[in-house]
Amino acid sequence: MDQAGRQRIDKWLFFARVLKSRTLAAKFVAGGNVRVNRDKVDQPSFAVKPGDVLTISLERRILVLRIVGCGQRRGPAPEARELYEDLTPPPATADKTAAAKPAEREPGSGRPTKRDRRKIDRFRLSGPDD
């Protein structure tokens, strides 16, 4: 730990097992994918401390983590989970009609014809309510 309970953000992301390597963590932070207390950070040497809230935009999801402690090493996953509190909101539930069973074709009817494909495309673009 550096300067009274502070740690470089790239080291913390590595120790907390958010990213696979410290090099990747440094590139990730330099790419502007991390916010600390709502401020965008682009320096891997930025010092974080317990109490800071990180907003991390990964490929398909956004993580919101509150730092609880600074790590000494990259330990096993249970040890890494003790470094943060997960504040990520649960994913939005999909609409029940959108999750309805997909359209089915009669067995043995073969592949759709060009006309059928156009009907399917029209249906997808307009939606079931139109």
φ/ψ bin of 37: left (φ > 0), alpha (ψ from -120 to 50), beta (otherwise): left
Query: pLDDT: is 111 or 14 the higher one?
Result: 14
pLDDT tens for each residue of 76-104: 999 999 999 999 988 876 555 555 667 67
pLDDT at 60: 86
40, 30 Cβ separation under 8 angstroms = no
Model-level pTM? 0.69
102-113: per-residue pLDDT in tens? 767 788 788 888
Mean pLDDT, residues 27-32 taken together: 95
Range 7-86 has CATH code 3.10.290.10:
yes
The whole-number average pLDDT for the span 13-21 is 95
